[in-house]
């Protein structure tokens, strides 16, 4: 990886000072087409399944990747939601095709990740999401939060890098992110549960700066928005006529707590993990999901390949973990 294009010293400095950096040319736009095609194929497969089950009348085969899911959602919110949940990458079977792994482990991306983390020993997290933000539907609007709000508090001071990768040009019109710059050095702000669409939210009065200071993180396909885990960000509605597809991936140094090499053991018939696994063994920043070594100069033989990544994700998916043991936030409704 050392031979690959990294970032300029100016980009790295900007990231550490501002808490984010938008790099327009991490990928060639075409590098992301295999992932787009795989997602589209999955929509097609699921739509046919729903049709065969008598739940979906019109699979909208005539529409392209940037419009099809929106049309299915317009016909039936239930079908649209089912498809989105399936693709988002959440626990319980979320999208983990080889094209997803190829983006996670893409040398061009890892070059930039290595420069920002300052290490070649890189752990990728199963906490990643595919986000189809549909036109004029509130569900995709993500309220103000720091990604640390979703992680265990023992990782608050560690660096977990978010790489936000648009699969279409992300603009103000289609609902790109807003970021509060120079606010990533302090404590994690108080979050509340029960924000829009079930997301965590930081109330305006708890943000580390006036939200009017936010920058608009427009980013074309091929570019990446990099943020720290304590950088407050949100995203706005999609007023365009197409879906704002994006993927957000997370990486950390292998020195930051992680569960690489740990496997949840002896789950019971209900799928509950052995509590000791979470209480004692697994102190990862997000214990319910599998971390995996994605690049290493010291231990290249331990780098996870696609088969191992699938096995790790699926094994963690089969076990229930109670994340509230690691972080709890008050509910919005009861504390206003």
Ligand X SMILES: O=C(O)CCC(=O)C(=O)O
What is the binding site for ligand X (CB under 6 A)?
131, 133, 142, 147, 162, 164, 177, 233, 235, 246, 248
Is-contact 249 144, C-beta < 8 A?
Answer: no
- Which residues fall within 8 angstroms of residue 91, CB to CB, at 6 or more apart? 288, 289, 316, 317
Considering the complex, state which of residue 20 and residue 164 has its C-beta at the smaller distance from ligand X.
164
- Residue 314 Cβ vs ligand X, minimum distance, rounded to whole Å: 23
CA distances from 177 to 87, 171, 233, 279, 302 (A): 20, 9, 7, 35, 35
What is the distance between the terminal CA atoms of the chain, rounded to a whole angstrom?
50
Using CA atoms, how far residue 53 sits from 79, 114, 333, in Å, is: 12, 46, 38
Closer CB to ligand X, 237 or 281, in the complex: 237
105 vs 160, which CB is nearer to ligand X?
Answer: 160
DSSP annotation string for 195-230: -GGG--B--GGGSSS-GGGPEEE-B-BTBEEEE-TT
- In this complex, which beta carbon is closest to ligand X, that of residue 60 or of residue 133? 133
**Nearest approach, Cβ of residue 149 and ligand X (Å):** 10
Closest CB 128 distance from ligand X, rounded Å: 9
Residue nearest ligand X, Cβ-based: 235
- Provide the minimum distance between the beta carbon of 163 and ligand X in the complex, in angstroms, as a whole number: 9
**Least Å from the CB of residue 227 to ligand X:** 8
Cβ-based nearer residue to ligand X, 6 or 230: 230
């Amino acid at each position: 990886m050392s031979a690959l294009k990294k970032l300029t010293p100016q980009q790295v400095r900007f990231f550490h000072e501002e808490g984010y950096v938008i790099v327009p040319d991490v990928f060639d736009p075409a590098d992301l087409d295999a992932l787009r095609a795989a997602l589209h194929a999955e929509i097609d497969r699921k739509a046919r399944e729903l049709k065969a089950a008598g739940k979906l009348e019109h699979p909208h085969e005539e529409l392209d990747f940037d419009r099809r899911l929106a049309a299915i959602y317009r016909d039936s919110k239930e079908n649209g939601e089912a498809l989105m949940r399936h693709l988002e990458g959440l626990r319980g079977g979320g999208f983990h095709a080889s094209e997803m792994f190829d983006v996670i482990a893409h040398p061009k991306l890892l070059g930039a990740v290595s420069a920002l983390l300052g290490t070649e020993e890189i752990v990728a997290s199963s906490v990643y999401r595919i986000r189809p933000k549909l036109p004029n539907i509130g569900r995709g609007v993500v309220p103000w939060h720091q990604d640390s709000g979703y992680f265990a508090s023992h990782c608050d001071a560690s660096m977990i890098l978010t790489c936000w990768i648009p699969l279409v040009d992300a603009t103000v019109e289609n609902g790109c992110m807003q970021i509060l710059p120079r606010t990533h050095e302090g404590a994690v702000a108080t979050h509340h549960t029960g924000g829009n669409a079930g997301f965590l939210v930081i109330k305006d009065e708890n943000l580390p700066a006036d939200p009017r200071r936010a920058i608009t993180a427009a980013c074309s396909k091929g570019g990446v928005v990099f943020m720290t885990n304590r950088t407050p960000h949100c995203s706005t509605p999609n007023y365009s006529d197409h879906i704002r597809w994006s993927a957000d991936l997370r990486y950390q140094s292998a020195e930051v707590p992680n569960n690489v090499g740990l496997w949840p053991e002896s789950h019971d018939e209900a799928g509950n993990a052995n509590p000791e696994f979470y209480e004692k063994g697994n102190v990862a920043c997000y214990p319910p999901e599998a971390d995996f070594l994605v690049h290493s100069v010291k231990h290249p033989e331990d780098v996870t390949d696609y088969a191992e990544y699938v096995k790790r994700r699926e094994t963690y998916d089969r076990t229930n973990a109670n994340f509230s043991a690691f972080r709890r936030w008050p509910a919005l409704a009861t504390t206003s």
